[in-house]
Structure 1
Amino acid sequence: MAIPVAAALSTSFALDKVTGWIPKAMDYLEPYKPDIKNVNINYLNKNTELGLVIHVPTGKKRRIRDIELPSSQFCKIDNMMDGYFNQINLDEVVRTDGQKVYIKASRLPSSETYFIKLKGILPQKTLDDIVFVQPAQNKDRKDGDERYWLNSMIRNAESLENLWEALNVDNVTAGVDIGIERYLSTNLPPELKKGLEAMNSWAKATYSSHWGDVSKAWLNMRSVRNSKLTVEELVEMFKTLTTTEFFSEFIEIDTPYNLGEVKNKEPYQTLPQNMYAEAHTRLTLKKPTAEGYLTFKKDDYVESVKSKYNEII
């Protein structure tokens, strides 16, 4: 059973904004001395877990008073344990009326401390306020390689350390557009370049459905059929050059980053202008920054394309 509880966590450079929804929840929980232990965020899917401890003393108040929390669609109670790490059945102790969530204190097992885990989806704006990811657009060239600088960080980490014992942000993602079309178009053999241009024109024309463009592109495609390679061979070759498995061989990435998704961003193009690669890393309050290069082995890739061509002619 998942019970809605608090509004979404929101943060900014100002400390009062960093706490976001927490003051409202803390107002409700103030009699129970709430202590936030950890916050875990998945940057890719925005799934968030927040763990906190509350203190519920024994006595008359415990028998007659429920623990109240604000209700919201943004977060839900996912788990609850007593101070001895025994699981508590939420169906037996939790109810909601749409406005508030009520934990029946009299039904809680004997213990004075309880751990509550909240789960929810973090809004993109909140995520951007917590984590900064520098767009990986700047690049330099070195020994036939192209290098893209990666820089990610938890904003205002020192202030967050004063609030929480732990903050973990997994799968922090930097996307990189790697240009390939202009390099290949200037290094390909003339016949292969002609075939590529004809197929790209055909792909664009069929995608737009403009009859004049389609007719012109078809004539260009007929000229390719009279070359050393068939259209089918050319399509298969360029398809291979933009597969994840093949293209990933020409990407290197510095620690603490790992290579994530690699894909063709323009599948309607025989050879896209750019390939897309993701770099993933993990940020914590102990290691709030990550820097490094994603390197595209450009010259090696171009040579590999030439070799593929020579294999099939």
Structure 2
Amino acid sequence: MRTDDKLDQREGHPPDRARPRMTPTRQWLFWGTLAVYLVIVAGVLASTWLVTFDWQVMFFRPYKQWPSIHAFLDYFVVLGQRGPTAVAVAAWLGWRCWRQRNLHPLLVLGASLLLLNMTVGAAKIGMGRLGPHYATAVGSNEMWLGGDIFPSGHTANAVVTWGVLAYLATTSLRRRTLSVIAALGALGVGMTTVYLGTHWVSDVLLGWAAGLLVLLALPWIEPGIIWVEDRLMGIILRLWLRLRPDSLRGPLPAPAGLSPQRVTPEGEAVRHDAVPAGPTARSGAPRTPDGRTHHPARPHASRAERAPVTPAGSRRPPHADRLPRTTPLSPVTGRGPGG
């Protein structure tokens, strides 16, 4: 039995083993999204209509067309910033880890962010595209000039960070609801970066594809996550037993007809009716190794065999005018001699 299963059973929580699988549908979505990713990169490298559209939106300057929402969108775009979103989601998933008594939610978040940083970071550095505010030549794709905005990190991070909550949902209804919320949030963050002029439209498109690829690939790395979880939970369990050695000990079930067992501090099972080795008292009663008298189990008497705890006779309290029933009554008055 795995160590986290033991902790789940000790705390009364059923082990959570509903893990998403790489289904054929998910595989088709992954390879389709990868194809879209490559098409976007090829379109920017070849300076196709996609680059032309980037420049048209840049010259349109949306932040000047609708200046009234600029202040709000400055705060809204934080939903795609890696630091604040990772802290908020990690706090929620940490509470879930405490409730479930396992580390799986936090490990999934950590693995997804690590995979996101590796893939998106490598693409940013490798293609080195400059943003709209630093463009050098009108109509150019601004590639390999030392920039780091292709794909959009805010957009990809919004897809992954909030999408992990949907990935870890325990019911299909919650998964669908959280998927819609995460998709709308990532869409809003991506369009906000275009509005603010910090990214080209193609940056945002590639950011959506990059984040979705990370989410779709999570079932493939689940075995590694579970392997790390087993090792960490084993370490935590050993530390827990070292700090509280009696936390997982208790009475052991006994077979029919035998007395229950108890567990000694040394971890040995001992029957209550067993006579331990050691000195005996002068009266012949066996003693335990620490010198206490050992009383063997006695048969339990039925209610009919028990001795009465109250004296026989009437339970009515005595009264000055009341005579005992043994006193003869008068045949005329029906009373005793004093009546």
Q: Please report the TM-score for the alignment, with normalisation by the length of structure 2.
A: 0.21
Q: Please report the TM-score for the alignment, with normalisation by the length of structure 1.
A: 0.23
More strand by share: 1
Higher Cα Rg, which structure:
2
More helix by share: 2
